[in-house]
Chains A and B, each alone.
Chain A
Amino acid sequence: MYGADMDAGGAVLVALVVIPSIAAILVAIGDREWHVKVVVLISSSVSIILALTALLLMVSDGTTFLMVERSELGEPDLAIVVMDILTTFVLIYVGYSRRNISILLLASMILITSIFIELLVKQRGDDPVLMADHLAVIMLLITNTVGAVICIYALGYMSGDRRQNRFFAFMLLFISAMNGAVVSNDLVWLFMFWEVTTLCSYMLISHDATAKAYVSAERALVYTLIGGLALSSSFILIAEDFPTLEISVMEPSMMTDIVVVSIPMIVIAALAKSAQLPFQSWLVGAMVAPTPVSALLHSATMVNLGAYLVLRFWHFWHFYDYLGWGLVAIGSITFLSTSIFALRQSNSKRVLAYSTIGNLGLVFVCAGIATEISVAAGVLLLFFHSIAKALLFLAVGMVKHTTGSEDIEDMQELRQRMPLAAFSIYAGVFLMVFPPFGLFVAKWMLSEAAVAMPAVALVLAVGLGATTAYYGKWLGRMYMSPSGSTRTPLKGKSVGRYYSYPILTLIAMGVSLSSIISLVIGGLVDPYVTSGAEVDIWGVLRTDTGAVPLFALFIVMGVCFVLFSLYLAPGKDEMDVEYTCGEPFQAVVGGAYLYDERAERWGIVISESTALALIVLLLISPYLDIEVVL
């Protein structure tokens, strides 16, 4: 028999959901600016501590999962249903008040499907309702540490904003809902939290209350509601025809024919949430929101949820290989096209948006290949991407706040004007593309995993090359000076601790976690996939097809690099002005943008319609009964 007492692990999970929610309510009713500050600071630190506690509990006893049984919470299901219906009513109200028929229709349909699910659900036993395995703990770490850092940064960024209460309330609620979604072990619970994140993203994107903000927010809402509707409709079939709604016991082999039909719809929900093609435009449009919102959407919450879902169900893609192929195809198209689109953008936030979509595309590819090594690569990619992307957004936000522009062409001489911002952009990009940092390891693992589906390599090759090119171009721009050779000493206004501390924290996190990446892989990623990649005591990560000396690389790149460049450093008397090849004029060089707007428009049309066709194919694939071999 299960007792009503909760163990420490369970208590942590409940607290991770409840505490940010309470903080959100406190923020909403606080009437002084310092109220908001205090609550956000406390809630953020508590979230970090709780996530780390969850990690410790997990690692100290690697065999068990943290979980909460249904009976430990009293009668929780009723509360979940009430909150689900409440959220849906708010969404319907949004559609009504904005006079947006699509939102109104979609939200109403979600309401109907939710009620249907409730009617169909059979008596549920005393199952674990909240549960955290290694994947969930990784997601909790991302959401709560990166999310907390972003919230603290926002205290500086949003100070003076008259709708601060509303802003921070939804930020905290977002984190709470995200925590809830990743630890839910019951599909109905997962769906409730899923809908709350949708609502929060709408509220935050529309924060500025301008016409443009509303247009973007409504588009985001429509796209994510399509995903939500797909999710809830698939749950109807599952609730109707399947003995359990427990995620942890769902096995692909238990699926009946009727339930199999519903699985592609779960994929579509994930694609919409993670802004994969053809849904990508909502995330690019969401750039109108204040920068902390973009940072939160792109790194700590929202888009990660779709990726989480496909990683969670990876053995399904292994079992039904046509679904795996579907994920790989859509993820590949997304990665390839967004990498190429990013080459042409001069707005830094758009570059970052395309980079996020592309990287999540890679996670979908990883999940779709569905081997142990590829899934490990996907989890690692998601983890390190969050840190690097949050860092880049916060740095860009700082530039925007100080100079009023987020255009890359305007970032020339940024190294002189805003050393910290420039430094953090460099750090962020290096974390994204340079060995020996985390994303390099993840991309290497994916490349090796691609031997299971060689066609993926064709996409990886071009996409990775383009990624280097567009990031390199950006970094280069920050060195350029507008007048050519005027040389000013490094200076810059002090930016305040709400900017500098979060940014430096993220840099420290990215670098230190990269240095102990073998522990991250061995302690968290590997247990989830059971065994993808072995790390030996020398820090060499071995896969079936290769090996990477993680420690050695880190030491060579770190220590040798520092020593070597100190040895080479020029003295004061060895400095010189740049050589102009004998030309008397001062040339000003702009960035290369490779192709014109028309080509870009065509590119978008072609890639979106291909992705749409693939989605249709995915939807009808269970009926086709074809054997996909490859």
Chain B
Amino acid sequence: MTDIMTALALTVLGPLSVGLLLGVDRKLTARMQNRVGPPILQPFYDLIKLFGKERRADNQAQISYAAACLLLQMVAFIIFATGGDLLVAFFVSGAGNLALALGAFSSRSAFGQIGGQRELLQVLAYEPVLFLVIFMLGWWNGSFLSDSYSDNLLGVMILVLVAMMPVVLIVMQKSPFDIATAHQEIVSGVYVEYSGTYLGILELAHWFELAFIFAVMTLFYNDDDVVLSIAIKVAIVLAFVFFAILIDNSSARLTRWDMIKLTLLIGIGLVSVNMAAIWLHTEGVF
């Protein structure tokens, strides 16, 4: 187990850095589109403002699901931060996504329903890939405990890391899997029926979820030199965010069905090629 101070620091720093990253994301996106863009700290301003707003709700169940969603995503990230089991964290985070979808369904509005359905399709598209990535990490490492990683895995598992690309795109709600004309209603359909504090809670939950996903990616590089280790971990995350923005701004759009097919094909394909390569290598084929 990680010592308490480190765990605490990670738990706080994780979502904070995601907030910062989302600020960078908006700034970069704006620059690519020849706009000035909001300040880097804008996501924090937004979040604080949401928590200050009046509470409006459609029904009680909706609020319980929002609570469950935040709680589950927080627990998932805390499990990671305290050196816990990655697979447990994955299942808990996945349950958080289900809670999010159910919260959208419970609003009984058509857009909430569409949003909920989309969320479930997203789950179907990226969770298998995320599961496999985590599984590969544990398989190679011999342990799923997040504080047991000390090797540089970029060499052996580069394809597995690349498989995270579509996952990042989907979780960051980027555009190949998007409907441009109805972003507010359809893509953010799960959030349509939430406002004020409740929306803030879901936004925070999203930060924790992203924090967990990025945290998994940082496990691919470890070095005895702490500074170098942290620098490369940050570089990996930044590279993924940068490519996500690039793809967002340069590619055409896909339907949801295509999203599932493409993500599963790329993700599972890359992971299984990598798995086969490692296996053949350990069997002494090459």
A561 pairs with B113, CB closer than 8 A: no
Which residues of chain B (69-124) have a CB below 8 Å from chain A?
70-72, 75, 79, 84-88, 91-92, 94-95, 97-98, 101-102, 104-114, 116-117, 120-121, 123-124
Contact for A468 among B117, B127, B144, B257, CB less than 8 A: B127
Which B residues touch A560, using CB under 8 A?
A: 71
Stretch at the interface among A105-113, A433-441, A494-502: A433-441
Which B residues touch A30, using CB under 8 A?
A: none
Which residue of chain A is the closest to B127 with respect to CB atoms?
A465
Which residue of chain B is the closest to A484 with respect to CB atoms?
B110
Which residue of chain A is the closest to B278 with respect to CB atoms?
A454
Chain B CB within 8 A of A603 CB: no
- A314 CB to closest chain B CB, in angstroms? 22
B145 pairs with A462, CB closer than 8 A: no
Stretch at the interface among B128-136, B224-232, B240-248: B128-136
Contact for A545 among B105, B108, B143, CB less than 8 A: B143
A586 pairs with B110, CB closer than 8 A: yes
| Given known contacts A433-B98, A561-B68, A561-B71, A458 and B113 CB-to-CB distance under 8 angstroms | no
A234 CA / B117 CA spacing, docked (Å): 49
Stretch at the interface among A52-60, A194-202, A361-369, A549-557: A549-557
| Given known contacts A434-B95, A447-B135, A465-B131, A458 and B71 CB-to-CB distance under 8 angstroms | no
Chain B CB within 8 A of A37 CB: no
A576 pairs with B57, CB closer than 8 A: yes
Which B residues touch A481, using CB under 8 A?
A: 108
Chain A CB within 8 A of B272 CB: yes
B114 pairs with A589, CB closer than 8 A: yes
B120 pairs with A473, CB closer than 8 A: yes
Which residue of chain B is the closest to A560 with respect to CB atoms?
B71
Chain A CB within 8 A of B44 CB: no
| Given known contacts A547-B84, A564-B71, A568-B63, A576 and B58 CB-to-CB distance under 8 angstroms | yes
Interface string of A209-233 (1 = CB under 8 A from B): 0000000000000000000000000
A547 CA / B68 CA spacing, docked (Å): 23
Contact for A546 among B63, B114, B144, CB less than 8 A: B144
Number of CB contacts from chain A to chain B under 8 A? 207
A546 pairs with B95, CB closer than 8 A: no
Which A residues touch B131, using CB under 8 A?
A: 447, 457, 460-461, 464-465
A391 CA / B227 CA spacing, docked (Å): 54
B60 pairs with A570, CB closer than 8 A: yes
Chain B CB within 8 A of A627 CB: no
Stretch at the interface among A169-177, A298-306, A382-390, A577-585: A577-585
B272 pairs with A578, CB closer than 8 A: no
Which B residues touch A462, using CB under 8 A?
A: 128, 264, 268
| Given known contacts A454-B275, A588-B110, A465 and B123 CB-to-CB distance under 8 angstroms | yes
Chain A CB within 8 A of B192 CB: yes
Contact for A472 among B91, B120, B132, B272, CB less than 8 A: B120
B85 pairs with A548, CB closer than 8 A: yes
Which A residues touch B85, using CB under 8 A?
A: 444, 546-548
Contact for A581 among B75, B111, B132, CB less than 8 A: B111
A435 pairs with B264, CB closer than 8 A: no
Chain A CB within 8 A of B185 CB: yes
Chain A CB within 8 A of B66 CB: yes
| Given known contacts A481-B108, A589-B110, A592-B117, A546 and B143 CB-to-CB distance under 8 angstroms | yes
Which B residues touch A476, using CB under 8 A?
A: 101-102, 104-105, 113, 116-117, 120
Chain A CB within 8 A of B155 CB: no
Which B residues touch A545, using CB under 8 A?
A: 138, 142-144
Chain B CB within 8 A of A283 CB: no
Which B residues touch A568, using CB under 8 A?
A: 63-64, 66-67, 197-198, 201
Q: Which of B104, B138, B279 gathers most chain A CB within 10 Å?
A: B138
Which residue of chain A is the closest to B60 with respect to CB atoms?
A569
Chain B CB within 8 A of A469 CB: yes
| Given known contacts A435-B95, A589-B113, A448 and B138 CB-to-CB distance under 8 angstroms | yes
Chain B CB within 8 A of A253 CB: no
Which A residues touch B61, using CB under 8 A?
A: 479
Interface string of B138-181 (1 = CB under 8 A from A): 11001111000000000000000000000000000000000000
Chain A CB within 8 A of B253 CB: no
| Given known contacts A546-B88, A565-B63, A479 and B127 CB-to-CB distance under 8 angstroms | no
| Given known contacts A434-B95, A462-B128, A545-B144, A578 and B87 CB-to-CB distance under 8 angstroms | no
Contact for B67 among A440, A457, A565, A629, CB less than 8 A: A565
B71 pairs with A479, CB closer than 8 A: no
| Given known contacts A556-B75, A557-B71, A564-B71, A443 and B91 CB-to-CB distance under 8 angstroms | yes
A447 pairs with B117, CB closer than 8 A: no
Which B residues touch A588, using CB under 8 A?
A: 110
Interface string of A456-498 (1 = CB under 8 A from B): 0110111011101100110111011100110000000000000
A564 CA / B102 CA spacing, docked (Å): 17
A462 CA / B264 CA spacing, docked (Å): 8
| Given known contacts A472-B98, A476-B113, A476-B117, A579 and B60 CB-to-CB distance under 8 angstroms | no
| Given known contacts A475-B102, A479-B108, A579 and B192 CB-to-CB distance under 8 angstroms | yes
A589 pairs with B117, CB closer than 8 A: yes
Which residue of chain A is the closest to B279 with respect to CB atoms?
A454
Contact for B87 among A433, A546, A576, CB less than 8 A: A546
A468 pairs with B105, CB closer than 8 A: no
Which A residues touch B121, using CB under 8 A?
A: 469, 592
Which B residues touch A451, using CB under 8 A?
A: 135, 138-139, 142
Chain B CB within 8 A of A587 CB: yes
Which B residues touch A480, using CB under 8 A?
A: 105, 108, 113
- A564 CB to closest chain B CB, in angstroms? 4
Chain B CB within 8 A of A625 CB: no
Which A residues touch B55, using CB under 8 A?
A: 570, 574
Chain A CB within 8 A of B193 CB: yes
Chain B CB within 8 A of A78 CB: no
Contact for B64 among A433, A447, A461, A565, CB less than 8 A: A565
- B247 CB to closest chain A CB, in angstroms? 23
A458 CA / B279 CA spacing, docked (Å): 15
Which B residues touch A617, using CB under 8 A?
A: none
Chain A CB within 8 A of B31 CB: no
Which residues of chain A (517-565) have a CB below 8 Å from chain B?
544-549, 553, 556-557, 560-561, 564-565
- A345 CB to closest chain B CB, in angstroms? 15
- A100 CB to closest chain B CB, in angstroms? 41
A564 CA / B72 CA spacing, docked (Å): 12
10 A-B Cβ contacts within 8 A?
A458-B275, A461-B128, A468-B94, A476-B102, A545-B142, A557-B75, A561-B64, A575-B59, A578-B107, A581-B111
CB-CB nearest 8 A-B residue pairs = A476-B105, A587-B110, A578-B109, A461-B128, A570-B57, A546-B144, A546-B85, A589-B113
Which A residues have a C-beta under 8 Å from some C-beta of B? 433-435, 440, 443-444, 447-448, 450-451, 454-455, 457-458, 460-462, 464-466, 468-469, 472-473, 475-477, 479-481, 484-485, 544-549, 553, 556-557, 560-561, 564-565, 568-570, 574-581, 586-589, 591-592, 594, 629
Known: A458-B271, A553-B88, A579-B193. 19 other contacts (CB 8 A): A435-B91, A444-B91, A447-B135, A451-B138, A454-B135, A461-B268, A464-B128, A472-B98, A484-B109, A485-B109, A544-B143, A545-B142, A546-B145, A548-B85, A561-B71, A576-B56, A586-B110, A591-B117, A629-B283
